[in-house]
Chains A and B, each alone.
Chain A
Amino acid sequence: MTWKDYFTLIKVQPGRIVTPRFGTLDFSDPNLPVEKVQALFEDDFPYLQITSLGLETLYPVPPLAKLPFKKVEPLAPARRTVKRKA
Chain B
Amino acid sequence: MLTDGKNLGGLANRIYFSLWYDVAAWPTDPSAPATIELAGTQSGDLVMKPGKRMFELYTTEDAAKLDINVIGEEAGKGYELLLHVFAPGLHKKLLGFMNATKNEDLVFIAMDSAGQNYLLGCEIRSAKFSASDGSGTGSTTDGRRGFGMTFAFRAANIYVYTGNILLTEALGSA
Total A residues in contact with B, Cβ cutoff 8 Å? 16
Total B residues in contact with A, Cβ cutoff 8 Å? 16
Contact of A24 with B117 at beta-carbon distance under 8 Å, contacts A11-B172, A46-B45 already known: no
Q: Are A17 and B170 in contact (CB under 8 A)?
A: no
Chain B residues positioned under 8 Å from A18 (CB to CB): 16, 164-165, 167
- Which residue of chain A is the closest to B16 with respect to CB atoms? A18
- Kindly count the residue-residue contacts between A and B in the assembled complex, taking CB atoms under 8 Å apart: 41
B66 interface hit (Cβ, 8 Å): no
Chain A residues positioned under 8 Å from B169 (CB to CB): 12-13, 15
B40 interface hit (Cβ, 8 Å): no
Scan residues 133-174 of chain B and give those whose CB is less than 8 A from a CB of chain A.
162-172
* A57 → chain B closest CB, angstroms: 25
Which of A10, A13, A14, A45 makes the CB contact (< 8 A) with B164? A45
14 other A-B residue contacts (CB within 8 Å) besides A11-B172, A18-B167: A10-B171, A12-B166, A13-B168, A13-B171, A14-B168, A15-B168, A16-B168, A17-B165, A17-B166, A17-B168, A20-B163, A20-B164, A27-B168, A46-B164
| Residues of chain A having any CB pair with chain B under 8 Å | 10-20, 24, 27, 45-47
Q: Can you name 26 A-B residue pairings with CB atoms under 8 Å?
A: A11-B170, A12-B168, A12-B169, A12-B170, A12-B171, A13-B170, A14-B168, A15-B169, A16-B167, A16-B168, A17-B164, A17-B166, A17-B167, A17-B168, A18-B165, A18-B167, A19-B164, A20-B115, A20-B117, A20-B162, A20-B164, A27-B168, A45-B164, A46-B45, A46-B164, A47-B164
